[in-house]
Structures are given as C-alpha cells and as structure tokens.
Amino acid sequence: MSLLITDECINCDVCVPECPNEAIYMGEEIYEIDGDLCTECVGHFDTPQCVEVCPVDCCLPDPDRVETDEELLAKIKD
C-alpha cells in the first residue's frame, strides 16, 4: 500500500530527499505523496524512509491504496 501525508505535516522538507522514487512533492499547503510512484521503499529499504525521518509521524499507510509487494515493486523507477 502506498503512503500518504496527513495534515499534521509541518513542511520540514526532510522526507523529500529520502524518497527513492521521487513520489513526494509540495501540494497546495503541505507535502503530498503520489500513490502511483510510492512503493513504501520496497526494493530499496526495509522500512519507508519518509516514515523514518518524519519528526511528526504524519506519513501513514493509505487505506485506499492496498497493494502487494509485487505491485509495489512493479512501480519502481528505473
């Protein structure tokens, strides 16, 4: 499942450079995650890097985008 960023985001910018798939971008008010690009870092890291670095714990699984590891791996940018 891809991740999403909640409205608790403080726009600290630490998650953006950590995303191996460049799925995090600035939305209208806070950072957002492109679910078509997010792989929860499957294929790159053992844990989602945005979750690891977020100081306010606002990067959460998106319940509307349940995906298998195989589906997540298929989204990895070459």
Which CATH number does the domain housing residue 32 bear? Answer: 3.30.70.20
Query: Which residue, 66, 73, 76, is CA-closest to 23?
Result: 76
Entry pTM: 0.89
Q: How far apart are CA 4 and CA 36, in angstroms?
A: 11
* pLDDT tens digit at each of 78 positions of the chain: 799 999 999 999 999 999 999 999 999 999 999 999 999 999 899 999 999 999 999 999 999 999 988 888 888 754
pLDDT of residue 8: 97
Number of domains observed in the structure of the chain: 1
Domain that holds residue 50: 3-74
Please tell me what DSSP assigns to residue 33. E
pLDDT of residue 16: 98
